[in-house]
A and B are shown apart, each in its own frame.
Chain A
């Protein structure tokens, strides 16, 4: 890992609100993080925790209205993304920053061939000629491990299986040599044996191309395997942030702990009963005035209901947004 280098993407105090007929939804609240070149940042959280909306907000991919990025400083290689014009943004998306979405069937256009959809970004962003673009498209398909790549350029998305379609999505995202790849649940819709193939592929590509990757998932198993650093999100906030080993060995937020305890495993001891987190995720109707996890937290005390904890440093590179201190087994002072 190129340590200590400048972050390629730096996000500070991001806040996104959806204004709906039934009132506001505060989907992302004061989210700050950064990612350095070559790094793989895992983002975990349940549905509705704001992990996808955070990434979509970064690149202005959310429809407005109803969504509005009300606050935040987003810097890509030092440039202010929020101040960019639509044309500049378009250049960034698909060019420097690639996206892979969860469901390859709905994110590929069913009426165009895969070749067309691969060539399109190459022609627009890299200004390649038709011929050069289709040669490059075939190379990309081969890179992501699709057999008979050149022949399959003329096929439509429905002629590919789920795993192959996700490979096509990855090929499109990689088309213009992105410096950052944002992968939103890229393996969730796939079977485990296909997921294993995609994970190997990403590991391999990362080594070859050296890009920064943001990997959004709810599967802690996948995170353990590929991430360098992890953000845990809950109720639209980052509740814990740590290097991957530290997070699994020494989780400091009660939510992270509970999450690690609830998942059964395919090896090791088998618990007679699964531990569950009682209750429901919070509604995000207002700006959080208290800790979003307080209602489900076994350690909650008065302060948690009166104040939303800020992220505090536990050890270098590891911070947590919680008033409880597991080290002392009491409230944290400060």
Chain B
């Protein structure tokens, strides 16, 4: 990082692979694998927001879930707060859950419709802390204040709330155990524009207040530009570029990042881009990724070597990394 003192690495992910087997036939024989996340390496520094962007199906959500051990990763290492958790099991893993939490995309689906808001927020406390009911109640109300929910709504049910308020409930629940690290999986994708800004501002306030570290997964490049400290771009299970925010948006190095940024419509009728990069075709299937570079089927700058050899993960200096054959000689 640029500023003087060395910030601590809170999350270190290296060589993470998450492959899902495909079974078919009467004998349920394995006929293939979906390489949802394929050899991903990155670190997240304490107090920063790492934006993870990419199109649907690129494996960004799977990566986020695997890091929190909601899946059992195929291989690789995940170190959170100094502890290797990639292959922990049972009680040992459970004891670490309070440090890492998640905010889900769809607040409708991630809140139990039969539980009151108060009991939803209290549930992690009930599971992980031995607290007196009175203290727990007080903590729930404190959390509701923190996320801007009216205390009087504690005995209401999720369906009585609007989308933005439901997302606040999900955020309060994630905060309940004083986590250090929160994975935000598209937390604003289901919300209206005017409500998105409210939730994003809340996330920023909470980060400052509680010193949180976020992995912010999103497909919304403009929102990630607003929120993230550094940004990682994923394509078909791999990270193709990782850079500090301003550098990435000002000067994207990887052809996929360039295409992605140029595809974002700008809310200004006078600055319609003249040389927009339109990618052809669709993302290939992760069951059968192309030989060589994963992006070679759509890349406007494709070369022969791209169809042969997987590009290496290059350190471009100043905290920038990319995987592209074009950048190799430079």
Chain A residues within CB distance 8 Å of chain B: 46-47, 161-164, 191-197, 199-200, 218-225, 244-245, 248, 258-260, 262-267, 270-271, 273-278, 280-281
Q: Interface residues of B, CB < 8 Å — how many?
A: 40
Given A192-B219, A274-B200: A225 touches B272 (CB 8 Å cut-off) = yes
Instruction: Identify which of residues 198-246 in chain B touch chain A, using a CB-to-CB cut-off of 8 Å.
Output: 198, 200-201, 204, 219, 221-223, 225-226
Q: From A247, which residue of chain B is reached at the shortest CB distance?
A: B269
Q: A245 vs B267: C-alpha distance in the bound complex, in angstroms?
A: 11
Task: Say which residue of A220, A265, A276 sits within 8 Å of B201 (CB atoms).
Answer: A276
A and B contact pairs by CB, cutoff 8 A, 10 listed: A46-B192, A192-B221, A197-B278, A220-B193, A245-B270, A263-B193, A265-B225, A266-B222, A274-B197, A280-B162
Task: Say which residue of A47, A273, A278 sits within 8 Å of B204 (CB atoms).
Answer: A273
Asked if residues A271 and B226 are in contact (CB atoms below 8 Å), the reply is yes
- Cβ of B10 within 8 Å of any chain A Cβ, yes or no, is no
Asked if residues A224 and B268 are in contact (CB atoms below 8 Å), the reply is yes
Asked if residues A193 and B260 are in contact (CB atoms below 8 Å), the reply is yes
Q: A265 vs B273: C-alpha distance in the bound complex, in angstroms?
A: 14
Asked if residues B269 and A267 are in contact (CB atoms below 8 Å), the reply is no
**Chain A: minimal CB distance from B104 (Å):** 19
Asked if residues B259 and A193 are in contact (CB atoms below 8 Å), the reply is yes
- Cβ of B194 within 8 Å of any chain A Cβ, yes or no, is yes
- Cβ of B22 within 8 Å of any chain A Cβ, yes or no, is no
Asked if residues B226 and A274 are in contact (CB atoms below 8 Å), the reply is yes
Asked if residues A264 and B222 are in contact (CB atoms below 8 Å), the reply is yes
Given A262-B197, A273-B204: A248 touches B265 (CB 8 Å cut-off) = no
Asked if residues A225 and B222 are in contact (CB atoms below 8 Å), the reply is no
Q: Give the chain A neighbours of B226 by CB distance below 8 A.
A: 264, 270-271, 274
Asked if residues A259 and B193 are in contact (CB atoms below 8 Å), the reply is yes
B contact patch SS: helix
Asked if residues A270 and B55 are in contact (CB atoms below 8 Å), the reply is no
Asked if residues B265 and A264 are in contact (CB atoms below 8 Å), the reply is no
Asked if residues B222 and A274 are in contact (CB atoms below 8 Å), the reply is no
Asked if residues A270 and B225 are in contact (CB atoms below 8 Å), the reply is yes
Asked if residues B267 and A266 are in contact (CB atoms below 8 Å), the reply is no
**Chain B: minimal CB distance from A320 (Å):** 18
Instruction: Identify which of residues 50-80 in chain B touch chain A, using a CB-to-CB cut-off of 8 Å.
Output: 55-56
Q: From A160, which residue of chain B is reached at the shortest CB distance?
A: B282
Asked if residues B223 and A264 are in contact (CB atoms below 8 Å), the reply is yes
- Cβ of B178 within 8 Å of any chain A Cβ, yes or no, is no
Given A191-B219, A218-B192: A266 touches B249 (CB 8 Å cut-off) = yes
- Cβ of B128 within 8 Å of any chain A Cβ, yes or no, is no
Task: Say which residue of A164, A248, A258, A260 sits within 8 Å of B282 (CB atoms).
Answer: A164
Minimum-distance CB pairs A-B, first 7: A221-B265, A276-B197, A191-B55, A196-B263, A277-B194, A46-B192, A264-B226
Q: A195 vs B282: C-alpha distance in the bound complex, in angstroms?
A: 11
Asked if residues B269 and A191 are in contact (CB atoms below 8 Å), the reply is no
Q: From B249, which residue of chain A is reached at the shortest CB distance?
A: A266
- Cβ of B131 within 8 Å of any chain A Cβ, yes or no, is no
Asked if residues A218 and B219 are in contact (CB atoms below 8 Å), the reply is no
Q: Give the chain B neighbours of A196 by CB distance below 8 A.
A: 262-263, 265, 276, 278-279
Q: A195 vs B222: C-alpha distance in the bound complex, in angstroms?
A: 15
Task: Say which residue of B196, B249, B265, B279 sits within 8 Å of A224 (CB atoms).
Answer: B265
Q: A194 vs B259: C-alpha distance in the bound complex, in angstroms?
A: 11
Q: A260 vs B85: C-alpha distance in the bound complex, in angstroms?
A: 44
- Cβ of B110 within 8 Å of any chain A Cβ, yes or no, is no
